[in-house]
Structure 1
């Protein structure tokens, strides 16, 4: 009989009191936290909000593996759904908000920076971080996990489960890294495009939720073999998990949309200030009265030709310059 079959009923109290020791997860999280802290202290003025976001991502990762979620992930379908949602969306989003790649790039030795830049600006990196590829990295992983035999393998084999969890975090990080654009990215997706794609990705979450809700039982033999005498029956358990993936994905997407809108407004404000500064610098001050003489300054001087507003806008002047 497996350890998952021997677990006591999951009560409201055990949601908060059930823990397990996961040495690999704790070690990796502690190493990441220490490395980030050292790198951030080496950059005076590093925003505290970024450090808080990165730390929160590590905390959520630990909770996903060591709290009741990590203890009951092989026993209840809906608990595994919570875990996968945290690993694919919540943890990567918080880590990406911490801008870890900026700190990592700053720590690259001088002689290795050309190689770093070549990798970052390679064709493969641009394709991987493009709008289409990033969308696939968010939508496809859970479909592959739940709609193939891989899901049952994660329940039976801890190594496979750990590898899949790591892959979910990696896919989610690439997605949020390229969408948020706090760290430099090989391919830049404009924020308005990100907003449209995010809405489309929410539809993908709904499709998976509906398939799991109305479709056949996933890993039915495994769950029936547990002979669990408490909690929801396997069908109800899968329906609950489908709701977690569907509704939970949309709930997580809402703060992400809020962050994207905020970043978009900041970028637009920066562009407006830069444009105003360029226009102010391009203005020529009018000469003082009586300091010049000649036909151009006399009362009969020809008026200066009128100019359209966009001819003085540096973002539009090149686009609409008259052709000769």
Structure 2
């Protein structure tokens, strides 16, 4: 069976996927002939088919590279097979993206395909000047680049480059999955991004196992399935959560869930997801133990995986049809709507109610991606603590509490009132900035997550790299030594303020979804690095003396205060055509609000830095005490041999001086 498994299973996946696309188009009505500007049967069916092929090829690309990085040994054939699959998937992605560009252009322009110059000129204009065309052009270029990288790169660490490129291929799809400027755009894009990555790891990892089944032993296959099963569980959580959020943003009401073609397709996809969850449970509980020990373990694995791929094909095909089906909630940009308010025109969302003290408890703007970051951060940390406890090791409860508080604060900041108001009020934006950059990283560093991970994660001996091996490598790289130097960390920490707020980066972060996500990540990483170099106990290449750290801290405090005073005393409004054009009829005027933000930076922002200085001073005192105790214990063990030797040396010197004295 395994001899034909590598042919049968992928064939089943593709066949069921194509059938599901046609089925979904019929249910949703996307295949019906249009009354006006109909592009023809070829485009009506060809466009969703090519987009579905894009999704499946991305899954093969990401899933195989993730398995290569996380589960496979580079000195075995399994790694070569996975990277060959990645290269082939990237090549298919490139071709499918090119076909999708042509189909999409014909669909939006209603021009028939033609080899003449006018069609080519229009197509060139579409991919260079129209956002939808630009996004598909990026998809094509990313696919071509990753194809080359996957063929050329065959090394453990360099595979990370291929993985980064593979993950980037999901960004253009996530960006075009919801109209820019439409209500809920940021939540929709993040949800779709989580959905795409989770589905890719889930489907692509399983396809990778199909191609590895014949090349590895039964014991090795059982181990690889076990590692894949862990990834699949995480992917299932992400796909389920993101699917719910995406469906709600596009359906809007329970009646439309069953009363529209789009809603019915969502229901079918949800049922497929439930079945796949059951397959995952069977895989973890029954399949993995029988692969290596059961007489028919190979047959059971082959049939179960083939059936699972068939259900995944249904979900993939329905997803392709959903992309062409009209949503019950119109996905229209606020810029295209008559009567939209200035706030809606700029942000895509309506202006929130007036900010009051109670708003900090009642106003929420949930972000699934950051919510999952917090959820998995807490889950993994507690799993590590539990693993240590089960083997009899202790982990300080204060570190656990610090990590939980830090993660809960990150959830509140990224999903609560700061996220709801930061686009409209500079003061709230700056308060959130202080949370991301100064308070949250400080608390998270006290949790010592790297130390916990190194202690709780088992060392691998099969030639593959897991969490422990990747962490050890990252800690010891020259780049880590560079960015964990206190001076460099302080320059990134403080210099980033000036570069961010006084360059076009600020506008990019406020007006573009990708820029906003980059802003949060930059603030968190820069703050974490700075706190780690000052007070962290996690391993870094070099830990510098406490006096040096205190000098850096006070210099940082002065520079940070100067930035806050500059903003607070400035007479020019930052991003006047943004914060000054929201049309607010409540709260302080934009310039006064900006001065408040500067005061927050100068006043409140210095408190975490002062806390860092106090912690460094306490650590310095404790280190001196520990050093003295060490010397005392050494003296007790040696009978104060060093002191006796020193006294004897002084006595001999005195005798020599006494003998020399009378001669003079």
TM class by shorter-chain length? 0.7 to 0.9
The aligned residue for residue 617 of structure 2 is 261
In the TM superposition, what whole-angstrom CA distance separates every residue of 1:69-126 from its partner, at most 9, and x where no partner exists?
1110101000000011110111111111000011222316344467754542333221
Q: Aligned equivalents of 1:251 and 1:148: distance in 2?
A: 27
Q: Residues 154 and 161 of structure 1 are in contact (CA less than 8 Å); yes or no, is this contact kept in structure 2?
A: yes
In the TM superposition, what whole-angstrom CA distance separates every residue of 1:205-239 from its partner, at most 9, and x where no partner exists?
11211221233211111122211111111110110
Q: Aligned equivalents of 2:580 and 2:647: distance in 1?
A: 85
Q: Residues 4 and 226 of structure 1 are in contact (CA less than 8 Å); yes or no, is this contact kept in structure 2?
A: no
In the TM superposition, what whole-angstrom CA distance separates every residue of 1:5-33 from its partner, at most 9, and x where no partner exists?
52211122222211122211111100010
Would you say 1:165 and 2:514 are equivalent positions?
Answer: no
Q: TM-score, normalised by structure 1?
A: 0.84
The aligned residue for residue 19 of structure 1 is 364
SS of aligned partner of 2:605: helix
The aligned residue for residue 55 of structure 1 is 404
Would you say 1:146 and 2:501 are equivalent positions?
Answer: yes
Q: Aligned equivalents of 1:32 and 1:69: distance in 2?
A: 21
Would you say 1:132 and 2:482 are equivalent positions?
Answer: no
Q: CA deviation at 1:159?
A: 2.5
Q: Greater relative contact order (Cα 8 A, min sep 6): structure 1 or 2?
A: 1
Q: Which moved more, 1:126-135 or 1:252-261?
A: 252-261
Q: Residues 212 and 238 of structure 1 are in contact (CA less than 8 Å); yes or no, is this contact kept in structure 2?
A: yes
Q: CA deviation at 1:4?
A: 5.5
Q: Which moved more, 1:189-198 or 1:42-51?
A: 189-198
Q: Residues 178 and 187 of structure 1 are in contact (CA less than 8 Å); yes or no, is this contact kept in structure 2?
A: no
Matches within 5 A, 1:229-268: 229-268=585-624
Q: Aligned equivalents of 2:470 and 2:363: distance in 1?
A: 46
Q: Residues 202 and 249 of structure 1 are in contact (CA less than 8 Å); yes or no, is this contact kept in structure 2?
A: no
Q: Residues 366 and 416 of structure 2 are in contact (CA less than 8 Å); yes or no, is this contact kept in structure 1?
A: no
In the TM superposition, what whole-angstrom CA distance separates every residue of 1:157-195 from its partner, at most 9, and x where no partner exists?
232112210111011111111211311211212122111
Q: Which has the higher helix share?
A: 2
Would you say 1:226 and 2:582 are equivalent positions?
Answer: yes
Q: Aligned equivalents of 1:31 and 1:247: distance in 2?
A: 33
Task: Mark the runs of 5 or more structure 1 residues left unpaired by the alignment.
Answer: 286-303, 309-324
1:100 to 423, 428, 449: 449
The aligned residue for residue 256 of structure 2 is none
Q: Residues 57 and 95 of structure 1 are in contact (CA less than 8 Å); yes or no, is this contact kept in structure 2?
A: yes
Q: Residues 57 and 91 of structure 1 are in contact (CA less than 8 Å); yes or no, is this contact kept in structure 2?
A: yes
The aligned residue for residue 123 of structure 1 is 478
Q: Aligned equivalents of 2:576 and 2:480: distance in 1?
A: 40
The aligned residue for residue 553 of structure 2 is 198
Would you say 1:36 and 2:387 are equivalent positions?
Answer: no
Q: Residues 489 and 529 of structure 2 are in contact (CA less than 8 Å); yes or no, is this contact kept in structure 1?
A: yes
Q: Residues 213 and 242 of structure 1 are in contact (CA less than 8 Å); yes or no, is this contact kept in structure 2?
A: yes
Q: Residues 137 and 171 of structure 1 are in contact (CA less than 8 Å); yes or no, is this contact kept in structure 2?
A: yes
| Cα distance change, pair 272–237 in 1 and its aligned pair in 2 (3 A) | same
The aligned residue for residue 306 of structure 1 is 648
Q: Which moved more, 1:11-20 or 1:230-239?
A: 11-20
In the TM superposition, what whole-angstrom CA distance separates every residue of 1:274-300 from its partner, at most 9, and x where no partner exists?
111112212279xxxxxxxxxxxxxxx
Q: Aligned equivalents of 1:126 and 1:6: distance in 2?
A: 45
The aligned residue for residue 68 of structure 1 is 417
Query: What RMSD, in angstroms, separates the aligned Cα atoms of the two structures?
Result: 2.2
In the TM superposition, what whole-angstrom CA distance separates every residue of 1:258-312 from its partner, at most 9, and x where no partner exists?
2222222222221111111112212279xxxxxxxxxxxxxxxxxx96246xxxx
| Cα distance change, pair 36–305 in 1 and its aligned pair in 2 (3 A) | closer
Q: Aligned equivalents of 1:55 and 1:90: distance in 2?
A: 14
Q: Aligned equivalents of 2:510 and 2:479: distance in 1?
A: 33
Q: Which moved more, 1:26-35 or 1:186-195?
A: 186-195
Q: Aligned equivalents of 1:284 and 1:247: distance in 2?
A: 52
How many residue pairs get matched? 291
Task: Mark the runs of 5 or more structure 2 residues left unpaired by the alignment.
Answer: 1-340, 651-664
SS of aligned partner of 1:306: helix
Larger radius of gyration: 2
Q: Aligned equivalents of 2:640 and 2:565: distance in 1?
A: 64
| Cα distance change, pair 31–183 in 1 and its aligned pair in 2 (3 A) | same
